Amino acid sequence: MSETASTPAGLGPDHGYGPDIHHVLLSEEQIQAKIVELADQVARDYAGREVLLVGVLKGAVLFMSDFARALRLPTQMEFMAVSSYGSSTSSSGVVRILKDLDRDISDRHVLVLEDIIDSGLTLSWLLKNLGSRRPASLEVCALLRKPDAIKVEVPVRYVGFDIPNEFVVGYGLDYAERYRDLPYIGTLKPEVYGD
């Protein structure tokens, strides 16, 4: 299979997913430029402090990796995996911890990295959970937010992009575990869902 034949123009490798993509919402260049912007802002706000980045698996893995490199501060990284009960494209707010943090976050400056805030239910639960562990500070940096889908207001200090209320994939975000490895963010053709 030729990779370039199915790659949307100017968007670099699509790992062969090109035929499934309906349209590209954010290009690799837009994402990377925004990450540098967010990291500069965070570096200014946290100057002189050591930040503990908490990445929410699996969606935030690519974001965490690029963000940590762009953030010119000494940081440590922790990961947490949670699962939100619901359909394959929406969450219910009933959350289960699949993988907890490996260590205590009390008195630490915690910055949660989220891939996307949709209803806000998962994040709301997560902030309560992490807040109960008595960090010195607790803030959120989300790459994407869907303002029209919000069901519960959550305090998010840093947001990359506000996007329309559509299901998106790529740059860590999956549909049925596929598309996470795409360097850009896009929507899928309806036939991909098969329902």
The minimum distance between CB 111 and ligand 5GP, in angstroms, equals: 16
The minimum distance between CB 164 and ligand 5GP, in angstroms, equals: 10
Is residue 111 within 8 A of residue 143, CB to CB? The reply is no
Q: Which is nearer to ligand 5GP, 43 or 57 (CB)?
A: 57
Kindly give the pairing relationship between strand 158-162 and strand 137-145. Answer: parallel
The minimum distance between CB 61 and ligand 5GP, in angstroms, equals: 11
Per annotation, catalytic residue among 14, 20, 66, 118: 118
Q: Which is nearer to ligand 5GP, 45 or 174 (CB)?
A: 174
Q: Which is nearer to ligand 5GP, 46 or 175 (CB)?
A: 175
d(CA 134, CA 106) in angstroms, rounded, equals 5
Give the three-class secondary structure for 82.
Answer: strand
102 counts as catalytic: no
Q: Which is nearer to ligand 5GP, 46 or 167 (CB)?
A: 167
User: Which residues make up the interface to ligand 5GP (CB under 6 A)?
Assistant: 59, 84, 91, 115-123, 167-169, 173-175
3-state helix, strand, coil in the chain (%, to 5): 25, 30, 40
Per-residue tokens: 151: 């069901």
The minimum distance between CB 74 and ligand 5GP, in angstroms, equals: 27
Is residue 174 within 8 A of residue 58, CB to CB? The reply is yes
Per-residue tokens: 76: 């440590």
What amino acid positions are annotated as catalytic residues? 118
